[in-house]
Structure 1
Amino acid sequence: MERTCSMRRKTMARQHKAEVMIAGEQLRLRLHDGKLIKDRRYHLRTYPNCFVAQELIDWLVSHKEAMDRVTAVSLMQHLMDNDIIHHVCDKRPVFKDAKLLYRFRKDDGTFPFNTEVKIFMRGQQLYEHLIADKNSIMMLREEHGVSFQRCFPGYLFIDWLLQNGEVESRCQGLELCRALLEHGIIQHVTKKHDFFDSGLLYQFCINFRRRRRLSELLNEGKQDEEGTSTSSQEDSPFILKRGLPSEHTAFQSVLKRKELKQVTGPRRSSLNALQLHSAGFPPFEQLSTASLRCNPKSVLKRQVTCEELLTPAAPFIKKVLTVIGDPLGWGFVVRGAAPCYVQAVDPGSPAAAAGVKVRQFVCRVNEKTVLYLDYKTVTRLVMTGPRVVVLEVMEPLD
């Protein structure tokens, strides 16, 4: 328990450090645009890319980044303590509201590029690449009946790293992903797992593109000291529902199945409960645009019992379908219990190509009778089985 708490505190500290770095960089760019950072002369010497502390405090207050000068000084001291800015001569460890020259370490090449910073910058680079990709693997997906926005299966992330030349092997990709998780850049959607090359869902813990207000840094620092989560931000685009329990982060965007909407895109979402455990599959090929509706209500016209399906004169026809999974899974959703049935089918999926249709009842999976099993058990059988799934289904004649 103590070890878990220690690891959590360390992750939170790293995430806060990342937030400070992003906020500092956003401030640096704004100050450059506003011409507050420029070459300045002091005591017959020219200092490039500097700002005057007093002028910066004026700017922070006038731009409502700080409510008063004391708060503004505290914010700059926080950046100074985190090696974002420094006095031009490195002789003053305390930031003062005076006509003193300070500089961003990134402007003079003294920023400490240690392992932690390098991993952070690698994570930011990957995030920007994924966001810019019009067919991004980050999308609304479902795990254990709960929907998470902008997440991705572990195996699919490694596939993407390989296809884009970010890593040379799956082993190297796995090491990179575990380093990103260890340093608080990504996480399992419910924080229950380390990183695995599997269908488990992961998200970026940090929205690198969100505009930071400097005042957040002090609030986050206080929350870190109290041991509470700092990742929930009101303006984060990752939030779909607020007021969640403390174990959920802003990137966990939790929705129950009844709240799921239509998802449209060129890649199948893992709203598909039958997701593939990927190792060794062929490279990803772009799928045709398709929409998958995950209806919160049953698609069945009426309830059907197992006994009715087994009755010789029942109005159902039996079919045997062979579904060959691709790197994204099989492309259908099963629901219900004894018997379970097909709730949804992705039109561009292997399931659709094999003839799987909504309202079909699943009787056997790979020669195993599943008629009296619930959808969770059936899903597990498919996911842990071979790539080729042989389904015996029964569908209504009408």
Structure 2
Amino acid sequence: MMTRNLKAEVMIAGEQLRLRLHDNKLIKDRRHHLRTYPNCFVAQELINWLIAHKEASDRDTAVRLMQHLMDYDIIHHVCDKWPVFRDAKYLYRFRKDDGTFPFNIEVKIFMRGQRLYEQVISSKDSISQVRQEEGVAYERSFPGYMLIDWLLQNSEIESRRQGLDLCKALLEHDIIQHVSQKHHFFDSGLLYQFCINFRRRRRLSELLHETENEEVECATHQTQEDQPDSPFTLRKSPPSVGNSDFLCVQPNKDSSLSRTVRCGSVTHQQHSSCGGYSASLNAALAVRCNPTSVLKRHVTCEELLLPDAPYVKRVLTILGDALGWGFVVRGKTPCYVQAVDPGGPAATAGVKVRQFVCRVNGLGVLHLDYRTLSRLVMTGPRVVTLEVMEPMD
């Protein structure tokens, strides 16, 4: 699953390619079967161009690159007939050229962040300068209050409150960040930077390489999830009374799956040979054998961010113990709490099933998949601060 920063790189690379193709006259009105298709290109011609300009080493690589842009709604077949990019005389078009680009909340904030970046960097007396915070110098940084002042002066906002909301959204969507990533956005002297260099030329081959690395990282992380030190695995010593099944998750009746239980979730007799904490067999099976979502229906990030959304925002602080945090997250975007250990730190802190995770230790995670979110928690401090949204009903 692609992280949000990598998704932003796809958008930038796609836009840079679109402008270059327009400059090279590869994008133009074309006629096919007595019909004229405006602003489109021929797949074979584009592949020839990519190889000639050393954007791809061969035709197969070029096809993979364009399929990547197609998967992320940057380009499409003129009739949306083929979901697969083909090395043929088919006509394709950039969605920005025909008005079909999906301008959701995330994209709108990203595009506004890109425009603000260009204005801030190119202004004569740019607020983006070398500044110090806590004795450390940071290049191209600016105080939070100064960014809001700049937005007011350039008529980008009408009030400081509106500016604060905009800057929080930019941070939430990884356009800007606190220089040490310790704080959310405040109208204060804390220093912030743009996370993305929008002007850097993106090579499509680099984009594909980054995506493959991301897939490898996810595969590696999935393997790491099977280890006994994963904080997103329920790991409790065998209870003397009752069991430690996850809340709202029942073990699957198929006992054959019990062979897949991880080392840290085996019976007490095997504990010493595994070198990890033992766990309830029933609890492990609850995770392994019932991955079905506990959500009543699918919820989008945009729906959660609506002003009148029927959700309550809560900030919860979890103090992890030697066995982990005691909850499981699932989902692509947004992530939600799939299961909670009734006797674990998460339950004590107020974490509940079906809560959506918005922030972790002050960082926006609403658009991250569960593997990336898990990795963020695992590499962070023992004390985890979660900002969650839970249904009102």
Question: Which bracket does the TM-score occupy, shorter chain normalised?
Answer: 0.5 to 0.7
Q: Percent identity?
A: 77
Runs (4+) off by over 2 Å: 222-228
Partner of 2:167: 177
Whether 1:146 and 2:136 are equivalent positions in the alignment is yes
The C-alpha deviation readout for 1:377-396, integer Å capped at 9, x for no partner, is: xxxxxxxxxxxxxxxxxxxx
Describe the SS at the equivalent of 1:72: helix
TM-superposed CA distance for 1:227, in Å, is 4.8
Matched to 1:57, the amino acid is I
Give the root-mean-square deviation of aligned CA atoms: 1.5
Partner of 1:133: 123
Give the distance between the partners of 1:145 and 1:131, measured in 2 at CA: 24
Whether 1:202 and 2:192 are equivalent positions in the alignment is yes
Partner of 2:146: 156
Partner of 2:13: 23
Partner of 1:79: 69
Give the distance between the partners of 1:191 and 1:219, measured in 2 at CA: 26
TM-superposed CA distance for 1:226, in Å, is 4.5
Q: In 2 relative to 1, CA 222–190 (structure 1 residues): closer, same or farther, beyond 3 Å?
A: farther
TM-superposed CA distance for 1:224, in Å, is 2.9
Give the distance between the partners of 1:206 and 1:69, measured in 2 at CA: 30
Larger Rg: 1
Give the structure-2-normalised TM-score: 0.54
Describe the SS at the equivalent of 2:82: coil
Partner of 1:123: 113
TM-superposed CA distance for 1:95, in Å, is 0.4
Describe the SS at the equivalent of 2:192: strand
Partner of 1:48: 38
Q: In 2 relative to 1, CA 196–223 (structure 1 residues): closer, same or farther, beyond 3 Å?
A: farther
Q: In 2 relative to 1, CA 223–200 (structure 1 residues): closer, same or farther, beyond 3 Å?
A: farther
Give the distance between the partners of 1:178 and 1:220, measured in 2 at CA: 27
TM-superposed CA distance for 1:145, in Å, is 2.0
Matched to 2:153, the amino acid is Q
- After TM superposition, the structure 1 = structure 2 runs for residues 1-398 of structure 1, keeping only pairs within 5 Å, are 13-227=3-217
Describe the SS at the equivalent of 2:163: helix
TM-superposed CA distance for 1:223, in Å, is 3.2
Give the distance between the partners of 2:192 and 2:83, measured in 1 at CA: 40
TM-superposed CA distance for 1:221, in Å, is 1.4
Give the distance between the partners of 1:56 and 1:101, measured in 2 at CA: 10
| Structure number having the greater helix percentage | 2
Q: In 2 relative to 1, CA 171–226 (structure 1 residues): closer, same or farther, beyond 3 Å?
A: farther
Partner of 2:297: none
Matched to 2:207, the amino acid is L
Give the structure-1-normalised TM-score: 0.53
Q: Mark the runs of 5 or more structure 1 residues left unpaired by the alignment.
A: 1-8, 229-398
Describe the SS at the equivalent of 2:3: helix
Matched to 2:83, the amino acid is P
TM-superposed CA distance for 1:141, in Å, is 1.0
Q: Mark the runs of 5 or more structure 2 residues left unpaired by the alignment.
A: 219-393
Give the distance between the partners of 1:72 and 1:143, measured in 2 at CA: 45
Give aligned pairs, total: 218
Matched to 2:214, the amino acid is D
TM-superposed CA distance for 1:222, in Å, is 2.5
Give the distance between the partners of 1:145 and 1:185, measured in 2 at CA: 25
